[in-house]
Amino acid sequence: MRINGKHYRSVWVDEDGWAVRIFDQTKLPWALEVLRLEDDAAVAHAIRAMQVRGAPLIGAVAAYGVALALRRDPSTANLDACVERLGQTRPTAVNLAWALGRMRAALHNLPPSERVAAAYAEAAAMADDDAETCRRLGAHGLPLLQEIARAKPAGEAVNVLTHCNAGWLATVDWGTALSPIYQAHDAGLPVHVWVDETRPRNQGAALTAWELGRHGVPHTVVADNAGGHLMQRGLVDICIVGTDRVARNGDVANKIGTYLKALAARDNGVPFWVAMPHSTFDAGVADGVAGIPIEERAAEEVTELTGRTADGRLETVRVAAEGSPAANPSFDVTPARLVSGLVTERGRCGASEAALLGLYPEKA
Ligand SMILES: CSC[C@@H](O)[C@@H](O)C(=O)COP(=O)(O)O
């Protein structure tokens, strides 16, 4: 994706050919800082601390983490141990386990002397695959926006509401939910995005708004609670969100608050679409509401806020009453019945087992 006219991916191998570079997403939107990761411990920290985040990107960076670990020690014991350690960094996005499983399968039967080169090649192939998957996904989502535009007076913008960040910062390139939006904008279709701020970590206000702004896509940041009102007023044509895991029955895990948007969308007759790359479909979980693990994060993410002061300093302040405890479930599960459909790299489908396995028969 472009920043000031220059193309970037969200993860890449450094010029020395072995260290891994990422953008430190905890510094955005205030600073665009690149981090150099030199071992799997740094990768694990980056994922846990959300310097990298977003389901597909977590998987891609973890794959490079395996390569970094094997560079130090290519033994089978170390391969298994690093896959185990990296797998424990975050629980909800299935892309992490998917990527680590693919790395282990590709490397396990090789002699240790061949593992390092093979690990870098496999991680690079996965990163390329993610970028192309997201590009195709966007191409399959674009007709949804074109169809809405055709029904409007010429030149009137299509209003999309999105939650959290499912743009290129959450993937290797393009994004999932934002990919159709970027492709619509690039094709000259007028599009405007309502960006949910996405408390408690503000991925919408900090990351989605920043991305859209860099790309020149018109957008407006709204408080998380504004979506229902906007839909009731006819100001939202379509909701498109990303996902961290889709269960076999079509239930969709995504950032906390997504479920409420789906309920409001259903009540107001607004289509609610989910952008899902193949790496996010977990056919091993039969029922998403019952079976998808939900990450519980630190209470301080709810009780405190970090922002930039007028003179450029970053400050963290407490916003909850002193002494009040806080709970912080980081994801929720939207039942399949509230989902209009899924946009994937293979086309669009309904949120049901039959439709999903129709598109992904190899996962049956
Ligand atoms: C393409 S991304 C879909 C999701 O990963 C995204 O919407 C999301 O919920 C990210 O959560 P995060 O906790 O920031 O990793």
Nearest Cα neighbor of 40 from 8, 11, 12, 72 is 72
Query: HSE on the CB side for 328, CA within 13 Å?
Result: 15
Does ligand 1 come within 6 angstroms of the Cβ of 56?
A: yes
Task: Give the end of a domain, one of 84, 110, 129.
Answer: 129
For residue range 163-176, what is the model confidence (pLDDT) as tens digits?
A: 999 999 999 999 99
Q: What is the CATH number of the domain that holds 174?
A: 3.40.50.10470
51 and 165 in a single domain? The answer is no
* pLDDT over threshold 80, residue 36: yes
Give pLDDT, residue 4: 76
Q: What is the CATH number of the domain that holds 34?
A: 1.20.120.420
Query: Nearest C-alpha to atom 10 of ligand 1 is from which residue?
Result: 54
Orientation angle between helical segments 76-87 and 94-107, nearest 10 degrees: 170
Residue with tokens 């076999």: 248
Compute the average pLDDT of residues 74-89.
98
Compute the average pLDDT of residues 94-103.
98
Q: Which of 98, 193, 203 to mutate to test the pocket of ligand 1 (most atoms within 8 A of CB)?
A: 203
Q: Is 248 annotated as a binding residue?
A: no
Give how far Cα 210 sits from Cα of 121, 168, 195, 292, Å. Answer: 32, 11, 11, 30
Query: Nearest C-alpha to atom 9 of ligand 1 is from which residue?
Result: 255
Complex ipTM over 0.90: yes
- The total number of structural domains in the chain stands at 2
Task: Give the end of a domain, one of 68, 100, 129.
Answer: 129
DSSP string covering 119-169, please? HHHHHHHHHHHHHHHHHHHHHHHHHHHHHHHHTS-TTPPEEEEE-S--SGG
Does ligand 1 come within 6 angstroms of the Cβ of 261?
A: no
For residue range 255-289, what is the model confidence (pLDDT) as tens digits?
A: 999 999 999 999 999 999 999 999 999 999 999 99
Using an 8 Å Cβ cutoff, are 287 and 351 in contact? no
Compute the average pLDDT of residues 211-219.
96
**55 CA: nearest ligand 1 atom:** 5
Does ligand 1 come within 6 angstroms of the Cβ of 242?
A: yes
186 and 59 in a single domain? The answer is no
Q: Which of 193, 255, 278, 282 to mutate to test the pocket of ligand 1 (most atoms within 8 A of CB)?
A: 255
244 and 349 in a single domain? The answer is yes
Does ligand 1 come within 6 angstroms of the Cβ of 211?
A: no
Task: Give the end of a domain, one of 109, 129, 149.
Answer: 129
The answer to pTM > 0.95 is yes
Give pLDDT, residue 53: 98
* C-alpha–C-alpha distance, residues 92 and 43, integer Å: 18
Give pLDDT, residue 5: 79
> Which residues are the active-site residues?
244
Q: From ligand 1's centre to the CA of 66, what distance in Å?
A: 22
Which alpha helices (H) appear in 34-88, and where do they start and end? 40-48, 55-72, 76-87
198 and 289 in a single domain? The answer is yes
Q: What is the mean pLDDT of the chain?
A: 97
Strands 314-318 and 331-334: unpaired
Q: Which residues constitute the domain of residue 26?
A: 2-129
What percent of the chain stands above pLDDT 70? 100
Query: What percentage of the chain's residues is helix, strand, coil (to nearest 5)?
Result: 45, 20, 35
* pLDDT over threshold 90, residue 311: yes
Cis peptide before 200 (omega within 30 of 0): yes
Query: Nearest C-alpha to atom 1 of ligand 1 is from which residue?
Result: 166
